[in-house]
Amino acid sequence: MSDSIPNHRFARVGWPTGDAIVTGIAAWRQKAIATFLGERERWPLWLPVGMGTGVGLYFELPAEPPLWLAPALLGAAVAAVTVAARRAPAVLPIAVAAAMIALGLTAGAFRTAWVAAPILEKELRPFTLSGRVVDVDPGPESLRLLLDRLESERFDGLAVPERVRVKLSGAAPPPAPGDRVRLRAGLMPPPEPVAPGAYDFARALFFQRIGAVGYVVGAIKPITRPEPDTVLDLSQSITLLRHRIAGRIRDHLAGTTSAVAVALLTGIRGGIPDSVMDAMRRSGLAHLLAISGLHIGLVAGILFFAVRFGLAAIEGVALRYPIKKWAAAGALAGALFYMLITGATVPTQRAFLMVALVLIAVMLDRTALSMRLVAWAALAVLALRPESLVGASFQLSFAAVVALIAAYETWARRSWRNLRRRAWWQTPMIYLVGVAFTSLIATVATGPFAAFHFNRIATFGIVANLIAVPATALWIMPWGLLAMLLMPLGLEAAALAPMGWGIELVVGVAKTASAWPRAVTLVPAMPVGALVFAVFGGLWLCLWQRRWRWAGVPVLAAGLWAGIVQAPPDILVDGSAKLFAVRGEDGRLALSSRTSARFSGKVWLRRNAQTEAARWPAADMGCDSLGCIFRAGDHTVALARDARALYEDCPVADLMISTEPVRRRCAPVVIDRFDLWREGTHAIRLGADAIVVTATRPARGRRPWVAWRGRDQ
């Protein structure tokens, strides 16, 4: 009787009874299952999501797992899939998801073991070094050389890196790929993140097998040059061809126009002036310089229609042979050559895989599904280069493509199908609307990733793309492709000149749009967890087709909100003990120096959505030649540059940060010179109840690309 009274009371006031709640949950469960089963054809699209989850988990592990562990998990998951397929079909999707996650873990572990190479253990002052030139990356003021097959007496007792990257200044002619050279260089281990959660240079270089970076002192002396009949490895031959094509372009174009043309046709972007690159980023046009779907699609499309048109003009061939399939084969070969000659970056690989599947489908008389193309391309990239998942190129490229295809699937048939061309001007108008629509969707889809990696969003990207994208698609790339076809004949100048006119237009648009007020919106650093939430919500929205897809919107919004409300560090201390940063009451960072550790300071400001540092010292800071002391909330913080400051500040400080070793009893929380040397840059958050300290090396874990020092080795 007592159990029935609350139910009657709830019924009288309109509250659902316990039975009603149970019934509602059961009905909701049945509806969810029915919806899930109704989208059976979309299930394969989640396979790369599962594999990507496994890859992401691998890179977030605090320590490198044994090489046998991931394959063992994969074997167990595959066995579970087999059993579920026979005896428990209801749990089959869960078993498949577990298998894909295990596959991602396995791909990450095996890729790391495959590329593992020695890393320089300590900094080496300039010394004589010889090696083979693998690649040359020219810049506006200097160039970078990638060297392998290294030899030097200074490497005695040290691990010899497989590859090193050195910066060369001066006007001397650079060596060519394949040359063996002798030079004096200073080398250092690959740089670590300048703040916890910042870009991990060392990890990126590890997967390129680069074990040291440095600089060249003096002139480079050639030892040997490859003879004309010398057989080089395939990658070296392609690199040499890239630079020869770039040289031919520079012979006919000059300045920024030449540098952009080289970037579009060879993928070598180092020669573009920093001011132009900044304008392209601020205007939202930087994607035009990254060889991706637009460029690969244009190359394949132009070649396909050109070959088909040429064969159709020969009546005997057109009537007897499958010229459409021949055209598809020619376009596939051209797209493959373009991908290789432009460096085969992640966006290029993704675009080529998608175009290749479409062209192969044409040759097999099959129809390809666009979203499935993206899924298979993602699986291929993750299998071959799992480390690309954590890079900006993979994330931006796939986010834009998935969002565009999802938007097309949703609205194209409903809206654009009904458009009728009633006048001559409707065709260009429809094209411009399509460009605007594409730019809007791509900007929204890539916005979270741009905020996460670059802490900026281009405000006027849609406007700039309305001019730049048609100019690139209809003018620049066709002329560029024609120039490459004419190079064997020595006639490329006829095509490079009009290509240059189009480039000047695009660069002018970029400079104009970037100069407008508030052209860039700066955003603070977003934690990884918030981005993961946003990505899952976006995938749920894009990969499903029924109404339950809209449940991804609140998840996406929650991820973005978590990124906004994340408390930034109150204090940052550079691992070299050269730079402090302190957050003021207004949220702005003040830097202790404008000349020391300038790159670290620049990144700290960018991650705090600042372009200029606040005044140092702040009004509430007491500073002298020995250091600073100030009050932050409920905590007293001391920054000591001299050991003499410790005697005065230790008794009163809650947090002591010292660039000198602390060998005495001091504050409750102490970060001294040894801590910075062992653990790298420190980020400190001053909470009401506790002081939370995060350092770069502990945050990165014990991984092959992390160099541990001292007692923590």
pLDDT along the chain (713 residues), means of 10: 46 60 78 85 94 96 94 94 88 93 96 94 90 84 87 84 89 79 93 93 94 91 66 74 91 92 90 91 88 82 90 86 91 91 81 85 75 88 93 88 87 55 62 76 88 89 87 90 92 94 95 92 91 94 92 93 88 92 90 91 93 86 88 88 88 91 87 92 89 92 85 51
Are 137 and 147 in contact by the 8 Å Cβ rule? The answer is no
Collapsed DSSP state (helix, strand, coil) of residue 667: coil
Residue in the block written with tokens 């004309």: 228
- Tokens representing 246 are 């770039």
Tally the domains of the chain: 5
Phi-psi region of 292 (alpha: psi -120 to 50; beta: other; left: phi over 0): beta
The residue whose two tokens read 């791509």 is: 442
Q: Report the alpha-carbon distance of residue 181 to residue 172 in Å, rounded.
A: 14
Residues 623 and 675 grouped into a single domain: yes
Residue 125 exposed, middle or buried by CB count within 10 Å (0-12, 13-18, 19+): exposed
Sequence-distant (≥ 6) Cβ neighbours of residue 455 within 8 angstroms: 522, 523, 524, 525, 606, 607, 609
Distance (Å, rounded) from C-alpha 515 to C-alpha 654? 46
Query: What is the pLDDT, as a whole number, of residue 531?
Result: 94
Residues 158 and 299 in one domain: no
Give the pLDDT confidence score for residue 14 in this predicted structure: 56
Euclidean distance between CA atoms 372 and 53, whole angstroms: 18
Residue 412 is assigned to a structural domain of this protein:
yes
3-state DSSP assignment of residue 231: coil
- Of 67, 87, 115, the one marking the end of a domain is 115
Phi-psi region of 685 (alpha: psi -120 to 50; beta: other; left: phi over 0): beta
Residue 614 · residue 629 · CB < 8 Å = no
User: Are residues 213 and 286 both part of a single domain?
Assistant: no
**pLDDT score at 18:** 65
User: Is the whole model's pTM more than 0.95, yes or no?
Assistant: no
394, exposed or middle or buried, with CB in 10 Å at 0-12, 13-18, 19+?
Answer: buried
Q: Quick one: 132 and 87 in the same domain?
A: no
Q: How many angstroms separate the CA atoms of 649 and 637, rounded?
A: 9
Q: Indicate whether 349 and 447 sit together in one domain.
A: yes
Scanning 472-551, the segments in alpha helix (DSSP H) are: 477-486, 493-514, 528-543
Q: At what angle do helices 552-565 and 426-454 cross, to 10 degrees?
A: 50
Sequence-distant (6+) residues with CB within 8 A of 708 are 678, 697, 702
Contact 311, 327 (CB under 8 A): yes
What is the C-alpha separation between 559 and 554, in angstroms, rounded? 9
Domain boundary among 492, 522, 552: 522
In a domain, 242, yes or no: no
Residue 244 is assigned to a structural domain of this protein: no
- Point out which residues pair with 298 in neighbouring strands: none
Task: Answer whether 161's CB lies under 8 Å from 205's CB.
Answer: no
CA distance 320 to 568: 69
Calpha distance 30→24 (Å, rounded): 10
Alpha-carbon span 421 to 492, nearest angstrom: 38
Structural domain includes residue 431: yes
425 is written with which tokens? Answer: 């001007």
3-class SS string, 16-30 = CCHHHHHHHHHHHHH
What is the domain extent for residue 625?
571-712
Helix residue ranges, H only, 544-631: 552-565, 598-607
Collapsed DSSP state (helix, strand, coil) of residue 182: strand
User: Do 135 and 53 sit in the same domain of this protein?
Assistant: no
- CB-CB contact of 51 with 101 (8 Å): yes
346 token code pair: 């992640």
pLDDT at residue 528, as a whole number: 92
Q: 337: which 2 tokens?
A: 């050559």
Regarding whether 182 and 262 lie in a shared domain, the answer is: no
Question: What sign for the dihedral angle of Cα 231, 236, 238, 239?
Answer: negative
Both 427 and 280 in a single domain? yes
Residue 469 lies in a domain: yes
The one-letter amino acid at 202:
A
Q: Is 398 found in the same domain as 290?
A: yes
- Least Cα distance to 377 among 298, 360, 531, 235 occurs for 360
Secondary structure (H, E, C), 85-150: HHHCHHHHHHHHHHHHHHHHHHHHHHHHHHHCCCCCCCCEEEEEEEEEEEEEEECCCEEEEEEEEE
Are 416 and 426 in contact, with CB atoms under 8 Å apart?
no
The pLDDT, as a whole number, for residue 431 is 66
- The candidate with the shortest Cα–Cα distance to 690, out of 562, 549, 541, 570, is 570
Say if 227 falls within a structural domain: yes
CB 372 within 8 A of CB 357: no
* Single-letter residue type at 473: A
319/430 same-domain check? yes
Inter-residue contact 64 to 702 (CB < 8 Å) = yes
Tokens of 485: 């076809």
Let me know whether 256 and 372 are in one domain.
yes
Query: Looking at 457, 491, 522, which one is the last position of a domain?
Result: 522
| Same-domain status, 66 and 105 | yes
Residue 240 lies in a domain: no
What's the rounded Cα separation, in Å, for the pair 10 and 15?
5
Distances in whole angstroms, Cα of residue 274 to Cα of each of 141, 265, 269: 10, 19, 11
